[in-house]
Each structure stands twice: as structure tokens, then as C-alpha cells.
Structure 1
Amino acid sequence: MAKYNNIELLRTTFLRGPSVWTYRPVLEVWLDLGELEDFPSNTIDGLNERLTAWLPDLIEHTCGIGERGGFIQRLEGGTWMGHVMEHVIIELLNLAGMPAEFGQTREISKRGIYRMVFRCPEETVARVALKWGHQLLMAAINDEPFELKPAIQAIKTAINERYLGPSTGCIVDACTARRIPHIRLNSGNLVQLGYGAAQRRIWTAESDETSAIAQGIAQDKDFTKRLLSACGVPVPEGQIVASADEAWQVAQKIGCPVTVKPSDGNHARGVTLDLSEEAEIKAAFALAQPEGSQVIVEKFIDGVEHRLLVVGGQVVAATKGETVSVYGDGQATLQQLVEVLNQDPRRGPEHEYPLDWINLEAGAVKLELNRQQLTPDSVIAKGQAVLLQRNGNMAIDCLDDVHPDVAYYASLAAQIVGLDIAGMDMILKDVSKPMLGQGAILEVNAGPGLLMHLKPTSGTPRPVGMAIADHLFPRDAGSDAGRIPIASIVGTRDNAFIARLVGWLLQLSGKHTGVASSEGMFIANNLIQPSSASNWAGAERILTNSLVQAAVIQTTARSILEEGLAYDRCLVGVVTDMDGFESLADHDVLEPGQMRRVMRTQIDVVLSNGVGVLNADLPEVADLAELCDGEVILYASSADNETLTAHRANTEARRAGGRAVLLKGTQVVLATGAQERVLGTLDALVLSGGIRPDTSALLAAIATAWALDITPELIGAGITTFEYAIH
């Protein structure tokens, strides 16, 4: 069989926001197929069979045909290798646990060169998937061996290292479902939800309402217990100890059995339950000491472990635990029995698993085995139960069984500590009965893990991410939750001036305004960055500023092609022109008509309650009106403009509303249908210092300000007080 040369990856670009391809992040890859341009999929012997043997779920890819098996039909009918690679990568991402349903492949003007994109929210993960997808495809083309498992594991590893953890991720997903935007602030789990002054921040399941004082209280288990006890909340009797000998002394004083645990540990590490013997208690002290700053000995309370999740004073999820045991068959060693137990698909070392693997070398497990006089090499008699773990397995959903009294004490404890989001560890004999006399609160956890509620081992998964999203952004905020007014401008004609004038008018209207433009970055009309900010980084700096109540962002066609937009949607999107194709040949933009695909991105992201502002003097710009989800305001240098006249006659308010800004002679007119209001004359609408702006730019700025609901009176007065200087 002939061997084919490698498909060459010419360049890769991660588009982090809305782009010419889609609204979400994608990796764009330029491919040179080389000789494979002449060999579609149905011409290479055995290719399709090898692909479907390695990736049988390709049958689920509908592709452009729109039905199950669509991509297989394309393979069998003959499709090019760029398209095949797209689907291979998407399937690898699916197998690694990150659904990636979107992809496209398009040939550019040079034969054999393709642009392939696939959706992935994290750049590192996308690049790893690209690497392995490329290798798999070339192996299939050249009939070479390929190991699928290492490829999937490599992508999984990248996901676990780079993607949000399950707790943070479920909150972000819930906000996305409510169309609340987010910005990841670091490589970990610190995330901003919303923009500017409307933002909230989370770090795993902690919010910006989680005070350092409350977190400190929760970390000190002994102090937490004393605080709760003083307020009438049932807690087990206990005491801080400094040595193994003191641990035994305290155990004798409060009465065995006891529990020994670290004072500020987490995830049940270093916790040992139901201890009565001196040797066990001293061994448990040694186990707990490395896991926290101090060790507590407390009265053991018989019952079942429970974790109740409290959000905003309400119990929104509850799970209960179970001990972990294996049962002998008279032949297998304990080690062998545990290896079988660890094959349970619910167990694993990564965040996606609700239960951990059982490690026979872990201190707590070894202590349990010592109590039973067993080792990993012991052969367990048929039917004999071996207890491996008593705690840390709270993954059985029980929310529907929680008694109102139990929920009350859980909520009360969270309020006493001062946490808006808290995981309440409780011991209860029966969660469906009142609390007093049959249970106690053991710990109050700040920033609790949510996986046990998202993926319980049995019972109903609970929408805890949405509960937290609704707590941070109450539903009565409507579609504006997490959003500030964003006006964004794309084009080449005096757009920096437009951005700065609109920013000035917004500032005068009472909103603390940030402007990112090619002339610099401005906050409240003060220059804070003299270099160009008309790019992703500049826009993001504005949107992460918690003081900014409104933002004006200038962007460029090149930034859209190379970075994507820094925001998901905007209230006002402005297109002034479609100039500049001559400088974009490196993106295969070779003629004026190709600019529409780029510039429409700005209009595609206008909110349904927003406004698209378009230059009616340029028909190719005005034609973008049909793509806008919101209203459209046109501006033109003449009242006789035919497009503008037709627009004013349109009374369909949702789509257009017939609003326009135009010139009648030297008068600037604001028109709504047939109604007209004169804003002023060109001679009167000059800037401070007598500067006369370009007429088209002035009309664009006025239309944008009007779209932002700034009153005509303020627009007129604000123009004449604007001190414009290029820095």
C-alpha cells in the first residue's frame, strides 16, 4: 500500500469568543493536504473501515446531512481529509468527556489548503486533541497501528489539568444557561460571572459573599463547634489535644467510643471513627496530626453521615453516606477483592468520579485493617465482610427525605458561621425525623464540593449549580442579570473618535464608563493606558473592572479574525464601513465582498433587546440589518437615502422601529418613522475648542448614544463639551 505524506498543520489560532465561525471558542487550524488533496476518503483502501473500527461512534455524527450516520455517508461518498480530521478530533473530545458538537472545514483560495475549526472551551485541551486527531488520521490513511486509549487519556489529562473543576463548572454552566457571561480570571477555578459592575466572582463553590472571617471560622472545627453550641445547635462533645497520650486521656474523660480528626482538615482526610482502644486512639492521633494544625478528640455519635448543601439560607441538596466493605469468597486476597471494587465506574482518581479509589496503603484504611487483624495479602473467608472505610462516602441522594427540622438546623448553622454557601456535615440516625435527640452537626464547610450532588451514586442528581447561580443573580433581574451596557464599534473610519465621544456621553448620563479604543484605554474619560486597546486584551480589561457600569469597545476586522470578540453579546453593535480587505490577505480575504462575513460578527452578537447601528450611506453595511436580532438604527448623510427612507417606513418595532439619524441640509435630525426631531445644526454641534468632527462619524456617535437611551438633550449638550485630543 502506498504511503502518503503527512498533512501539514500550517498554523493554529484559538478564537476565544464570537468569531466568523460561531459564538463560542474554537481552534482554527490551517491545513495543507498536499498530495491528499487528490485522494478523498473513498479512494484510500480500508481507510473508512479503520476509522469506524477505532471510532465506532462516528455513526452518531449527523454532519451536514442532518441525520444519524450522515458523516459515514460522506466518508463513503468521498470527502476530503480536512473534513475527516475535524470529525476525528470531535469524536476524540467526546470520548474524553468533553462534548464538542461543532466543527467546520472550508477550502481557501489556494488549492489544497483548508481552514478547519472545532469547538473547545480551553485552548490547551484543543491543541492536545488536534495533535492526537492528526496522528490517528494519518495512521488510518497509511494503515499503521494506533493506540486509542493513550490518546483519550492524554486529552482527559489536559481536561483535568486545564478545565474548570466540577463545582465551578456546574455554576458556570448554569449561568451560561441563563445567558450570564463569564470570564475565567486564572488557570484555576477563579471565575468572574457577568461584566463590569454587574459581576460576581466564584472560586469553586465560594462566592464573593463568602467572607474571610466566616471561612476562617469554618476551618477551625473546634471553634465552630463552640460557636454552634452556644447558639443551641447540637454538636458532639470534644476537645483539642496536643499528643497521643492526651488524646487517650480526653477519650477516657468524655467516654468511648470517640472520633479523632484534624481541627482544620477537609475531605475526611485524617478522620477515624468509633475508637475505644488506647492503641487505636493513639494511632488515630498520628493519622490526624499531619492533616491539620491541631487534633480534636470528640464523642462518637452513632448514625449515618449526611452532607446538606445550604445556599442562601435554603437546603438545596442532601446526600448520605455508606461504609465501604468487601466480601470474601474464600479464594481471593483482600488486595484482589479491592482491585475488583475499584473497577466500579463510579470510582476514580479524577474530579469526574463521585467516589475515590480505595487505597489499602492509606492510613485510615490500614488502621481499619489493623483493627480486624488483616493485611492486603489476607485471604478472606467466604461470606466474611471486611470494613475498609467508614466515612467520606456521602454520595447517596436523600434530599426528598430531609425533615424540615433538620433543614432548619443546617440553615441556622450556616447563618451562625456567616456562610452564604455551606456544606453541613451531620450525623443522623434518620434524616426524615427531627434533629434533636438523634443527631448532631459535625462540621461546617466553606466552599463545599458539589460533585456528590451532581453525580450521586444513587438517587436524583440535583441542579446545585443553578441554585447557586440563582442565589448570585436573582431571577427578578431578568435577561440583564450580570450585564452592563456594552457598545462595540467595528470599521476603520474615525472609530476611535466615535468610541470616545460615546464614552463621554455615557459618563455624562451617570454611568462610570470604560472605553477601549485604538487611542488608548479610558476610565471615566481619564486615560489609563496610552497604547492601543482595540483588541481582546483591552476589551477584557474593561469588562473585568468592577467599577465600570458601561463599556464602549472599539474592535477591528483583524482582531475578530485572530482573537474573536472579548464579550459574548453587546447591547449596541456599530458597523461604520467594510474597508480594509487589502490588509487581510493573510486571512484569505482577497476582495471587498469577503468583508461581510467578518463584519457581520459585530451584528450577530447584538442582544434581542439591543440595537444595531449601521451606515446607510454604504449599501453593503446597511444590508447587515437583516442579521440583527434587535432593533436597527440607520444613519446617513442625506434624508433622500433610499435605504433609510424604506427603513423609516418600516413599523415592525422588534426588528427596526424605523429609527434613523440623518442630515437635512445642515440639520442633524433624529427620526422615528415619520416623526422628526432636530438635534442641532452641524455648525452648533462642534466639540469643545471649536473642533469640527467628521460628519459621518458624528452621526454614528449620535446614533449609538441614542441607541443607549441617552436623551437628545444630553447628546446635544455633551457633544459641545467633549474635549477631544489624540494622546
Structure 2
Amino acid sequence: MTERPTPDLTILETRVYRGANIWSYDRAIHLVVDLGSLEEYPTNTVPGFTEHLIAMLPGLREHSCSRGKRGGFVERLNEGTWLGHVAEHCALALQQVVGHDVRRGKTRGVKGRTGVYNVIFGYMDEQVGLAAGRLAVRLVNHLVEADPEFDWDTELDDFIRRAQRTAFGPSTQAILDEAVSRDIPWIRLNQHSLVQLGQGVHAKRIRATMTSETSAIAVDIASDKDLTTRLLSAAGLPVPKQDTVRSADQAVRAAERIGYPVVVKPLDGNHGRGVCLDLQNEDDVRAAFPIAEEQSRRGTVIVESLIVGKDYRCLIIDGRVAAIAERVPASVTGDGTATIEQLVDTANADPRRGVGHEKVLTRIKVDEAAIELVREQGFEMTDVAPDGQVVKLALTGNMSTGGISIDRTFEAHPENVEIAEEAAQMIGLDIAGIDFICPDITEPVRETGGAICEINAAPGFRMHTHPTIGEPQFIAKPVVDMLFPPGATSRIPIVAVTGTNGKTTTSRMISHVFKGMGRKVGMTSTDGVVIDERLLIRSDASGPRSARMVLQNPRVDFAVFEVARGGILREGLGYERNDVAVVLNVQPDHLGMRGIDTVEQLADVKAVLVEAVPRDGHAVLNADDPLVREMRRRCSGQVVWFSMEEPGSETRDMIDAHCRRGGKALVLNPSERGEMIVVKHGPR
């Protein structure tokens, strides 16, 4: 043992598995790490290591590790465990810090290489998982010997910000969580919010809360506030009086025609930007016009009558009200001692508040508009507001400007619900956010006075899924119900073929059979990617990327994948599971790649397909190959044997016993006309 440990932990190799792989049933990140001199130093021999680690990542206290109970990993740290294992748990804990619920991991030594370990851990977002692995290794080295350039707080903040940049917004994530709970597969199509739900012909797409069912015409209408108001007015729905203008002079004339007080807002704005409320005279209108004009893409501004009341957002999904929230503008309440500035800082210190959409609430922004609004209420930011005095910091109740939401879903008057549903149908949106201004949503809006002031395409879900006050509404359910009605299929059948020899021929034969049954078959093989008998790409396409290409094709209703050992070792399968796995044979070819040096190891790689068979699936296995025969133990579904052995052989006896228990097999039987292929199913 060396005198003192040195920070030698290094990453030798990084792999990202995007589907089932040799280490895990699900996607995972694989780091090959070298401990160097640290191989001689388990955690209990490094002074202060465990205490400092737990202080930096307190979530590690929850890790059960192999003990199967809370605190199991801390026990392992105190008893002494190797630092590669620590890096695995740190990578998981870092992802949990940013809200990614990943718990799967394992660390195993590399055979024949002392101090070199395979570190495997799950991930939700690929870039976040890779960043977590790198930061975990740096943290372990820092705890072994302090690095003056490593500041933990800064590193953690940078990691959290990176995760927030690539993370789905709260609306997209809510839909995906619901889809996953129903076993609907999904594929991220870009680095933003464009996601495919389902496979092949069953695929639907979402981008935030717009879906592949959302009408482009409806989105255009909703983005034109003037046209929206005219259509709603023609349907007899309550809307404010309004006029469109392109200059400050026109705005003043329109305001005088409508009657003060008025509202000035951009024709095609969003998130409440550029909206100026409660304008009492000509000077107010002239000052508001450039603010609204700046936020209008077309340079057109709307002047409309001011509707007094509370701000309500009605969320309509597939023609029905799914949730209603009252939106309260950003404000603080005086306590008689703290200044308004200090009250804002206190409000922003709430752990629920963050930047943008990262948390359930957004931090209150103090800009020129907020300072001016405070002045209009008779205060400066440095003044102390009287106890109980509410000081507004924004006029609109948008969550993105620091507002809060109160759930009112079950309090709305039925007549108001009907008005909101009719408005969404009038515009034609499948998912719409109807903005109501009225004194009280529990009373009929036509009697109390009030109006629909705006209709939004792609409305945010955050105020409904995470209201500040009230019960959260599970609004992702009706969205997924709309895209995949109860009983609808989201997956296409997948047949995966592997083996050392004969994969391409077998894949072609299976494709030909199903083409004859009227299926639109997508096939990948070493020849290329074939969609419905048309060769799209001529190359070796037996890897996971080609498989994902087929699953994204909207014409395919049946998939046949030739799966080579290289793709499994490099990226995993590229999909979650296959309905049928066909394993032809395992021969000692192509050894010496990525640590696969024996035919038994090669069989373990091929067996990934068998492990990816669900309970209602099938594994078609070669009973004549002893390595393939062993794979039956890894199959959750049913095994179908095929054999060239003659009756009376040991293999045929095993198959006969399998069929007596109700199993299936294909065998060769001698007859007067030569050998016959016989299908055996149970006693038949």
C-alpha cells in the first residue's frame, strides 16, 4: 500500500446504451474506470471521506444499495467499498438532485485488469447522465485529495443549470409521465420538446402541449387576437369591445371611441408580454402603445375595453374543461418592518421558485415596469409597506412573471364551463387555454359582467399540475386519452433476429411472409433499411440507430430487425422490447471486440434479445446449439424450439417433453417423400 491515496480515478471509456443491453434491461450509461493507486484504498481508509461525501450529496442516505434498505449504501461506505462503486452512486444521486428518478446501477471489476471497473448507471436524459458521471468522478478525486480549482457549489450549480437547459418543460414531462404509465413508448426527436409517442403507424407527436392533432388553422386564428374576438363575438360569446391600430394616434381615437379605462396589448403576443392594463387617459395610451408594439410580430396593437375582475385560465382538452385556475399577479404583503425590496427577496427565496419553468413557481422579476407599478401604488422599492398592505409587482397573473395559481376546477358555474368549451370549439383547438376575466367564476359571467379576453394555443400546464393553492389536476390523462383512446395500440410488433450465421436470410424470409399477409414491413439488415420492399439506405444497418429509423417511419406496421453483436455492445438494442426473438446459432467468430473474448461471452451478448421478450412474447431458439439452448432460462415469454435432429436423439426427447407441457416446436420428420417440416403444438 502506498503512503497516502492520490486522486487517480480516471474514465477510460464511455458508452451510452439507448435500449436493453448486456448490463441492464433498460437504457444505461457505461463508464470503464481505472482506480490506479486508489484500488488499495476502500472508503473506510480515506479519512473524512464518508462524512464529506454525505454532506455534499445528502440524497445518498436514501440509497439502499445491495442491503435492500434505506441507508444501506452509507453502511457500505463505513465498512469500506471501492471508489468505482462510489462514483456509480454519486452519478445516480446527482441525477436525483435535478428530479430524475433513476435508481439502477452496478459496478463490476473487469476480468484480468486489476483496478479497472465497469460502472453502469441508469439515466433519463443522455446529456445529463453523461455530465453526472463526469462530475461524480471529479468529486471522488476531490474528496481523496482537495483540488483548489474544484468548488463544489459552483460545480453543482453548473450541473443543475445544464440539466435545466436540456430538460423537458413541466407540460411535456407531465404528458410523458402519463404515457410511460400506460406503457406507451416515446422517442425524443430534437433537443427541445418535439417528442414521438408510439411507434410506426401508431405514432403521434407532441411539442409541449401542441399535438399532431392540433389544427394549424386554429393556431393561426388563436394567434390573431382581433380575429379571435370577432369569431367569438359572432358566436354570441362574451368578449370585450376592441379595435386594432397601428399608431399611437389611432390608439387614442380607438380608446375614446370604446371609452376609458382601456387595455392596450400586442395583436400576436404571448405570456402577457406587452400588455398594459387600466389606462385612464390619452397620455397613458400613448405611453403604452410602444410597449405593446415592441411585442407584436406584425407591429399591430389592440385597444380594448377594460374588464374588471379576477383572472381565470380555463384549460380545454378535446372539447371538455380539464382544469380551471385563478391566476394572481406577482405581489408581496407588507409586514410593517421589511422594505418592499426585502419582501421580494424573501418571496424569491422560496425553494419552489426558480428561473423560467425550472420550478413550480417563477421568481418575481423586478424591472422598470414593476418599479413604476409600485410607484403608482405610492411606494418606492426601499419603502416599508404597512402591515397587511398588498403591493402588486405585475398587472398580469402569468406564472412566467412570478404570479401564483389557485385551483378552481370544481367551483366554476356550469354556464361558464359551457362558454369556455364553446369558445375552444369555435376556434378549433384540441388543447386550448381560455383566459376569462370576471368578478367570480362561481357566478354566470353573463350576469356578473366579464369576458373572454384571450384564447391560447399550446397553453402551459404548470399552473394546473402544480397550483400554489389547491389540489393538482391530472390533466395529462385526457391529452393521452385523446391521442391514444382506451384500447388503441401504440406499439407495432417487433421481430428481432440474431446469430452468427443466417441472420440476413432469415430476416428477409420473415419480412416476405408478413408482406404476403398485407403488412407494411420495415426491415433492417446488413443490406440496409427496407420499408415496404423499398430499399431506403444501402449500408450495414444492423444496429440500434437503424431500428429507431424504422420505428419513426409512419408507414410501418411491422418491424423485422437483424441485430448484430456490435450494435448491442455499442449502444444496446435501441428499443425497449421485441415481441419475438430469433436466435439462430452462436459460433466463435468476431471474438476480441469490446472485451468479448470467448464464445460464452458472445452468447451472453446475443441473449440480450431473449431477455427483451415480454411475458406475452416468444423466443424462437435453435435447440441443436447448446449455447442457444441455455438462453431459455432468460426468457420471460414462451420458448419455441426448432431442430434439425432426428427423432430419438437427446435434443428431440427434450423437445417432445416441452411439447407435452403445451409448448411449440418446429422439427424435421422423415417421410416417404423425404424430410418434412413439422409444427408441433402441445399434443398436436
The residue correspondences of 1:234-253 to structure 2 (distance < 5 A) are: 234-253=238-257
CA offsets 1:307-339 (integer angstroms, 9 cap, x no match):
121111121122111133224455544333322
- The answer to whether the aligner puts 1:663 opposite 2:668 as a matched pair is yes
* Cα pair 2:407 2:469 within 8 Å, conserved: yes
CA-CA distance at 1:371 after TM superposition: 2.6
1:563 is aligned to 571
Q: Secondary structure of 1:235's match?
A: coil
Match of 1:418 among 416, 424, 428: 428
Match of 2:582 among 574, 578, 583: 574
Q: Hey, what's the Cα distance between the residues in 2 that align with 1:616 and 1:476?
A: 37
Q: Secondary structure of 2:346's match?
A: helix
Q: Secondary structure of 1:437's match?
A: helix
- The answer to whether the aligner puts 1:128 opposite 2:131 as a matched pair is yes
- The answer to whether the aligner puts 1:611 opposite 2:614 as a matched pair is no
Match of 2:209 among 195, 205, 211: 205
**Residues 124 and 669 of structure 1: is their aligned pair in 2 closer, same or farther, counting only changes over 3 Å?**
same
* Cα pair 2:659 2:683 within 8 Å, conserved: no
* Cα pair 1:648 1:674 within 8 Å, conserved: no
1:673 is aligned to 682
* Cα pair 1:354 1:395 within 8 Å, conserved: no
- The answer to whether the aligner puts 1:92 opposite 2:71 as a matched pair is no
Q: Hey, what's the Cα distance between the residues in 2 that align with 1:623 and 1:54?
A: 46
Q: Hey, what's the Cα distance between the residues in 2 that align with 1:528 and 1:551?
A: 15
**Residues 12 and 638 of structure 1: is their aligned pair in 2 closer, same or farther, counting only changes over 3 Å?**
same
Q: Hey, what's the Cα distance between the residues in 1 that align with 2:555 and 2:669?
A: 40
2:393 is aligned to 388
CA offsets 1:37-64 (integer angstroms, 9 cap, x no match):
1111112222122212222332211001
1:703 is aligned to none
CA-CA distance at 1:379 after TM superposition: 4.9
1:310 is aligned to 316
Q: Hey, what's the Cα distance between the residues in 1 that align with 2:375 and 2:443?
A: 36
**Residues 242 and 308 of structure 1: is their aligned pair in 2 closer, same or farther, counting only changes over 3 Å?**
same
Q: Hey, what's the Cα distance between the residues in 1 that align with 2:629 and 2:455?
A: 59
Match of 1:119 among 116, 122, 131: 122
CA-CA distance at 1:586 after TM superposition: 4.2
TM-score when scaled to structure 1? 0.88
**Structure 2, unaligned stretches of length 5 or more?**
none
Q: Hey, what's the Cα distance between the residues in 1 that align with 2:97 and 2:119?
A: 20
Q: Secondary structure of 2:617's match?
A: strand
- The answer to whether the aligner puts 1:319 opposite 2:334 as a matched pair is no
2:453 is aligned to 442
CA-CA distance at 1:562 after TM superposition: 0.9
**Residues 270 and 579 of structure 1: is their aligned pair in 2 closer, same or farther, counting only changes over 3 Å?**
farther
CA-CA distance at 1:437 after TM superposition: 2.5
**Residues 408 and 159 of structure 1: is their aligned pair in 2 closer, same or farther, counting only changes over 3 Å?**
same
**Residues 657 and 404 of structure 1: is their aligned pair in 2 closer, same or farther, counting only changes over 3 Å?**
farther
Q: Hey, what's the Cα distance between the residues in 2 that align with 1:586 and 1:635?
A: 29
One-letter amino acid of the counterpart of residue 127, structure 2 = T
Question: Which sits farther off after the overlay, 535-544 or 123-132?
Answer: 123-132
* Cα pair 1:659 1:672 within 8 Å, conserved: yes
One-letter amino acid of the counterpart of residue 574, structure 1 = V
The residue correspondences of 1:16-415 to structure 2 (distance < 5 A) are: 16-109=18-111, 110-143=113-146, 147-292=151-296, 293=298, 294-329=300-335, 332-363=338-369, 365-381=370-386, 384-391=389-396, 392=398, 393=403, 395-415=405-425
CA-CA distance at 1:390 after TM superposition: 2.7
- The answer to whether the aligner puts 1:590 opposite 2:597 as a matched pair is yes
Question: Which sits farther off after the overlay, 413-422 or 161-170?
Answer: 161-170
Match of 2:534 among 523, 526, 533: 526
CA-CA distance at 1:79 after TM superposition: 0.9
One-letter amino acid of the counterpart of residue 392, structure 2 = L
**Residues 660 and 3 of structure 1: is their aligned pair in 2 closer, same or farther, counting only changes over 3 Å?**
closer
* Cα pair 2:264 2:285 within 8 Å, conserved: yes
Q: Secondary structure of 1:587's match?
A: coil
* Cα pair 2:7 2:144 within 8 Å, conserved: no
Q: Hey, what's the Cα distance between the residues in 1 that align with 2:288 and 2:207?
A: 32
Q: Hey, what's the Cα distance between the residues in 2 that align with 1:644 and 1:280?
A: 93
Q: Hey, what's the Cα distance between the residues in 1 that align with 2:664 and 2:481?
A: 36
Q: Hey, what's the Cα distance between the residues in 1 that align with 2:405 and 2:646?
A: 69
Q: Hey, what's the Cα distance between the residues in 1 that align with 2:363 and 2:283?
A: 27
Q: Hey, what's the Cα distance between the residues in 1 that align with 2:591 and 2:240?
A: 70
**Structure 1, unaligned stretches of length 5 or more?**
676-727
Q: Hey, what's the Cα distance between the residues in 2 that align with 1:221 and 1:503?
A: 52
Q: Hey, what's the Cα distance between the residues in 2 that align with 1:94 and 1:644?
A: 52
* Cα pair 1:7 1:34 within 8 Å, conserved: yes
Q: Hey, what's the Cα distance between the residues in 2 that align with 1:357 and 1:151?
A: 22
* Cα pair 1:428 1:435 within 8 Å, conserved: yes
Q: Secondary structure of 1:588's match?
A: coil
One-letter amino acid of the counterpart of residue 368, structure 1 = L
* Cα pair 1:18 1:564 within 8 Å, conserved: yes
* Cα pair 1:648 1:659 within 8 Å, conserved: no
1:699 is aligned to none
One-letter amino acid of the counterpart of residue 316, structure 2 = V
Q: How many aligned residue pairs are there?
A: 667
One-letter amino acid of the counterpart of residue 618, structure 2 = V
**Residues 258 and 11 of structure 1: is their aligned pair in 2 closer, same or farther, counting only changes over 3 Å?**
same
Question: Which sits farther off after the overlay, 44-53 or 509-518?
Answer: 44-53
Q: Hey, what's the Cα distance between the residues in 1 that align with 2:659 and 2:679?
A: 16
Question: Which sits farther off after the overlay, 456-465 or 135-144?
Answer: 135-144
Alignment RMSD (CA, Å): 2.1
Question: Which sits farther off after the overlay, 41-50 or 66-75?
Answer: 41-50
**Residues 277 and 81 of structure 1: is their aligned pair in 2 closer, same or farther, counting only changes over 3 Å?**
same
Q: Hey, what's the Cα distance between the residues in 2 that align with 1:135 and 1:333?
A: 43
Q: Secondary structure of 1:400's match?
A: coil
Q: Hey, what's the Cα distance between the residues in 1 that align with 2:74 and 2:244?
A: 66
1:693 is aligned to none
Q: Secondary structure of 1:579's match?
A: coil
CA-CA distance at 1:366 after TM superposition: 4.1
Q: Hey, what's the Cα distance between the residues in 2 that align with 1:558 and 1:540?
A: 16
* Cα pair 1:323 1:389 within 8 Å, conserved: yes
* Cα pair 2:523 2:530 within 8 Å, conserved: yes
CA-CA distance at 1:630 after TM superposition: 2.3
One-letter amino acid of the counterpart of residue 669, structure 1 = V
Match of 1:537 among 509, 529, 545: 545
Q: Hey, what's the Cα distance between the residues in 2 that align with 1:434 and 1:504?
A: 64
CA offsets 1:56-87 (integer angstroms, 9 cap, x no match):
33221100110011001111111111001111
CA-CA distance at 1:12 after TM superposition: 0.5
Q: Hey, what's the Cα distance between the residues in 2 that align with 1:594 and 1:217?
A: 61
Q: Hey, what's the Cα distance between the residues in 2 that align with 1:159 and 1:55?
A: 17
One-letter amino acid of the counterpart of residue 418, structure 2 = Y
2:643 is aligned to 636
CA-CA distance at 1:112 after TM superposition: 1.0
Match of 2:465 among 425, 448, 454: 454
* Cα pair 2:18 2:575 within 8 Å, conserved: no
Q: Hey, what's the Cα distance between the residues in 2 that align with 1:73 and 1:529?
A: 54
